[in-house]
Chains A and B, each alone.
Chain A
């Protein structure tokens, strides 16, 4: 059940990146997608058990696997920094393209590129 929800989150995020016309919306959609991927890691790590992986000799429990959880921390940090960078880029683009509609930006870029070709 939760697996299906996560896959749907990822697909919705991806669709958002492709379909949304506004640059900010695209970045938010990408964040949704990366949240889905993080949850994907967490759910696979909890496949054999859901208890916090801290070993205590007197507890006989089904622990979650700590490795995917540890690894995904790296991906969370990378995702954050990439988004911060992209938002800075978007801020700079907004100076000349205040609506941030992808179509209008690409038209302006294409006109510029054709002049060069």
Chain B
């Protein structure tokens, strides 16, 4: 088992570099790697309601450097595998540079896997930085057909903005890491329990920015609107969730962070949905809704993987569904929106009900209210007119859309979680669904205020300092309360 894990962790990078020598194998190897991840995840209990023994790998004389794979992480790995599988199918010969993109996809896939299985701070840092470089290249390179112009300034700019933001945030994270090391003599996440508030605040800032949680997710909307739809499917499918998952793991080790995580989750959910409701275009609606959904992912750390899986399959379906024009558009949009809103019967409902069931009452009710907003967003995406220009996503045949619908949509329908079907959860889901659908139907007829945030690079980076100060105040404040 240990050998298999080691091979599986290293393989995507090995394949990515090997395909420089044999370019023809790029796409097949991306597909094979994704399939391997799916198999690996299933074996480690990634399927909903499955369990498996956690696997832990420690380096010799390790200073806390550890890999840990449990059922929670395996669910996220399943999402990585399924999203990569379908996205690799979209990168076919009709587009210039699709081989380069498939290679970057392999690297992004491998580093996202590494982030969520690392149980120490320094491996998370390295993997997150590799992830941001891969995402930058995916974003700026973009897919283009033969007749389309070269990569636009807009993609280049959002890519640069992303790299700026993530590099600055990760520098803060690095400072937190050394503070933890100095205190505990190891980089293990368990050392966070003894960390100073300053170290905790710095580490939290880095992970919030990478996970696009709360106001640190200000970079996300413009990036999602400007990027190629297929690339955005990767971003929304698993790259932001890698940061959120690392956050959930840290909170399991640190009681101070665990105490404040619900507030961050609620803040992110409300912040995202408020701006989603004020948005006009389907892309913008979905992008802001992603910020709000990150709040749900970190709401209950023990269910973060399952929620990540449900959301990681629904969002790519919606992003790609909103851009295609053939007859697969409606099944894609309906399945994605239903899963996002939590219609009973699907994986989205199960994940949401399980996550919300263990929360404190105020948090649970707030997130249920946000679910009404999410349903409203889903209805508005369905009602939105179909796109004028399709960004060249598919041809007439659309066999890739069929496969996407089959794999992602099938994954969403498949999960049967008996534990989620309590009367209480069902009642809440039906109530929020009916209210949300009504609201969505009448939303266009209500005059709305126009809120626009400054999403410039200064705002995106400046917000980081505000979040840092906020975290410092929160974490230091708790310690004062805890003192006798």
Query: B-contacting residues of A (Cβ < 8 Å)?
Result: 10, 14, 17-19, 23, 26, 30, 33-34, 37, 40-41, 44, 47, 67-68, 71, 74-75, 78-79, 81-82, 85-86, 89-90, 92-93, 96-97, 102, 105-106, 108-109, 112-113, 116-117
Q: Within 8 Å of chain A (Cβ to Cβ): is B390?
A: no
Given contacts A19-B458, A44-B181, A68-B182, 14 further A-B contacts (CB under 8 A): A17-B164, A17-B168, A33-B168, A40-B178, A44-B182, A68-B178, A71-B187, A74-B126, A85-B136, A85-B163, A96-B153, A102-B456, A112-B153, A112-B154
- Which residue in B156, B163, B182, B280 is a CB contact (below 8 Å) of A47? B182
The A-B contact count (CB < 8 A) is 101
The verdict on A113 contacting B160 (CB below 8 Å), with A41-B178, A67-B181, A108-B153 known, is no
- A71 CA / B122 CA spacing, docked (Å): 8
Check B171 against A34 for contact (C-beta < 8 Å): yes
Check A106 against B456 for contact (C-beta < 8 Å): yes
CB closest chain-B residue, reference A70:
B63
The verdict on A14 contacting B465 (CB below 8 Å), with A68-B178, A102-B456, A113-B226 known, is yes
User: Chain B at the A interface: mostly helix, strand, loop or mixed?
Assistant: helix
CB closest chain-B residue, reference A27:
B164
- A10 CA / B457 CA spacing, docked (Å): 19
Within 8 A of A (CB), among B55-108: 63
- A41 CA / B140 CA spacing, docked (Å): 32
Check A113 against B458 for contact (C-beta < 8 Å): no
Check B171 against A86 for contact (C-beta < 8 Å): no
- A41 CA / B180 CA spacing, docked (Å): 12
CB closest chain-B residue, reference A88:
B140
Check B160 against A86 for contact (C-beta < 8 Å): yes
Check B178 against A89 for contact (C-beta < 8 Å): no
CB closest chain-A residue, reference B65:
A71
Provide 25 A-B residue pairs closer than 8 Å at the C-beta atoms, listed in order of the A residue: A10-B171, A10-B175, A14-B465, A18-B461, A18-B462, A18-B465, A33-B171, A40-B178, A44-B179, A67-B63, A67-B181, A78-B129, A79-B167, A82-B129, A85-B133, A85-B163, A89-B160, A92-B151, A96-B153, A102-B457, A102-B458, A106-B157, A108-B153, A112-B154, A113-B226
